[in-house]
Amino acid sequence: MGVLEMSKKRHMQKGVFRSAPCWMRYACFLVPGLFFIPSAPCLTMNFTTTGGGGQTGAAAGTTAMVMSNGDSWSGGAAGVQGGGATNLLGENPVAANVVFKFDLGSFVSSMNVAYGVGNWTVENIRLTFQYTLYANNTRFGGGAGNFDVFWIANDSWVQGSDNPIFSTDAAGLLGWAGDQSLLAREYYSWSTSTYAGTVADLTSWTTDKTGDRQGLLTVELGTDSKLVEDITTTNGGGRISLYLMAVSDTLGMTIFTGGATTLPTFSFDVIAIPEPRVIGLVVLSGLGFLFGRRERA
């Protein structure tokens, strides 16, 4: 094909495009982009457990440390620990897991009013807590290791009167939980950015609430469908329960549940879901703008 013929062909193709209706020409550019319109975070919600220092206090309804020997505890701290953790006497305390409950209250209703039913969801779901490397109570042990975080459907538990169970695996947990999902497996390094825990320091230590030997740990919980449904509906009565299970025998993680700077906090971002009519308005507005520019040219 000669240069002249190629030029004529390009001119004809360009002419065919220009002869198409204005809305059709610009829609071919706009429509694909509509499928990629992002949903920007609208707001971040934070919910904490109830702070307390005794088993009979209000904290018993939102925190529970359950031990392998059948005991339970709800005080100013709670420990997720395996049987190989080390306490301040250089001994191994009883293995234990921890359960948290967060009351979202009238959250769902307020979001439905603000955005409309079905027009919002959540992402960036997190659990944050303050920990201390050493505790001046023989109940708690220190040590590095892994732990699992489960969402559980059972929200009726209260420490001391309707205790959660102690379990070392998901199968054993299920009967009490009713339903559950494994959200995350996290490694606890028994350290902060400036200090590493050592067994030698345990025997002469007090519980640190500030300074180098305490810190914050945030666990990303993902967007498990059961967890998201529990947050965005009233199925659980506005409550969310999380079960922290020790995986490593060496794990000894002491979490502040009262008396320190930060209580265990459950947080997430609320995301508006674009409605079809909104997308339609974007299309029409874009086409109208481009059509106006074309007609004025």
User: Given a cut of 50, is residue 36 above it in pLDDT?
Assistant: no
**Dist CA 96 CA 174 (whole Å):** 17
Angle (CA) 132-136-140 rounded to 5° is: 70
pLDDT tens digits along 151-172 = 999 999 999 999 999 999 999 9
Average pLDDT, the chain: 84
Within the chain, where are the H helices?
3-19, 22-34, 107-115, 170-177, 225-232, 276-296
Q: Six-digit token pair at 118?
A: 């079905």
**Dist CA 109 CA 90 (whole Å):** 51
Q: Six-digit token pair at 77?
A: 């701290």
**Dist CA 278 CA 58 (whole Å):** 45
pLDDT tens digits along 184-222 = 999 999 999 999 999 999 888 889 999 999 999 999 999
Q: Which of 150, 133, 151 is nearest to 142 (CA)?
A: 133
- What residue spans define the domains of the chain? 41-276
pLDDT tens digits along 85-101 = 999 999 999 999 999 99
Rounded (10°) angle between helices 225-232 and 107-115: 80
What amino acid is encoded at 268 in this protein? F
Contact yes or no for 99/64 (Cβ under 8 A): yes
Within 141-193, where are the H helices?
170-177
**Dist CA 245 CA 98 (whole Å):** 7
pTM: 0.81
